[in-house]
Amino acid sequence: MGLLEHRLDENVLTTRIDWLINWARLSSIWPMTFGLACCAIEMMAVGAAHHDMDRFGAGAFRATPRQADLMIVAGTVNFKMAERVKRLYEQMPSPKYVIAMGACATGGGPYYKYGYNVVKGVDRVVPVDVYVAGCPPRPEALLEGLMKLQDKIRRSAVLRKPGLPEGALFVPAPS
């Protein structure tokens, strides 16, 4: 999409094409097989029978970053691991999305104060689209994070000139 991206004014044609492309993207978010810590267990639960992420077309876990659209950073990011996370993110072809799952990935979590080895939030390494709170989050929370991501994709501009930049979205922890 390189040549046309963000070059065209808004009219019926571009909005419809944008709608189609966005629909395709949000309907088939292939996540990367990638788990760091205890949150990964909950992520697996989202893929498994009870919650079934595949209902939204997001169940095709790809082992290689080249074919993935979504990186779910599920767990504590060590400094040692951060390099790898960044490399994997850079290996993904755009458009690519990141969900920071759980307290550790969002902001260091319980390791915030004394965890000398923990990155205080994966957004210091890669740009994050959706933060999901919880320690670890319930599978439902990750599902809502996925839907928030779908909302975000739905509103993004592909051929149109982009509007205001959108901030990251946030799934609050259940009170």
Partner 1 sequence: MGLLPAPLLAATLLGAPLLVAGGQQGNFVTDLVAKLSPVEIPWPLLVLIGALLGSGFFLLLVFITPYAMLAIWAERKVGGHIQCRIGPKRVGPFGLLQSIADAIKLLVKEDTIPAGADKLLFVFAPALVLASAIAMFAAVPFAPDVWFTDLNLGVFFIVAISSLTTIGVIMAGWSSANKWSLYGAMRMAASVISYEVPLGISLLVPVLVSGTFSLREAALAQEGWGGAAWYLFRDPFVLPAFLLFYTASLAETKRAPFDLPEAESELVAGFHTEYSGMRFSFFFLEEYAAMFVVSAIGALYFLGGWAFPGLTPLVEHLFGRGWIFNAVAIGVFSAKALFLVFVMMWLRWTLPRIRIDQVMTLGYKYLTPLSLACLLGAAAWELYVVPLFGGGG
Binding site for partner 1 (CB under 8 A): 1, 20-21, 23-25, 27-28, 33, 48-49, 52, 54-57, 59-60, 62-64, 66-67, 69, 93-95, 158
- As measured in angstroms, the least distance from the Cβ of 156 to partner 1 is 12
Six token digits for residue 61: 């876990």
Beta-sheet strand order (sheet of 130-132): 70-74, 97-101, 130-132, 169-171
- As measured in angstroms, the least distance from the Cβ of 60 to partner 1 is 7
Six token digits for residue 171: 């799934």
Instruction: Give residue 106's Cα distance to chain centre.
Output: 12
- As measured in angstroms, the least distance from the Cβ of 10 to partner 1 is 19
- As measured in angstroms, the least distance from the Cβ of 25 to partner 1 is 5
Measure the CA–CA gap between 77 and 36, rounded to whole angstroms. 7
Measure the CA–CA gap between 88 and 83, rounded to whole angstroms. 9
Cβ proximity to partner 1: between 78 and 150 the closer is 150
Residue the block writes with tokens 């990935």: 105
Amino acid at 54: D
Cβ proximity to partner 1: between 17 and 38 the closer is 17
Cβ proximity to partner 1: between 19 and 79 the closer is 19
Cβ proximity to partner 1: between 47 and 108 the closer is 47
Q: How many helices (H) and strands (E) does the chain have?
A: 5, 4
Cβ proximity to partner 1: between 1 and 135 the closer is 1
- As measured in angstroms, the least distance from the Cβ of 169 to partner 1 is 19
Measure the CA–CA gap between 104 and 153, rounded to whole angstroms. 25
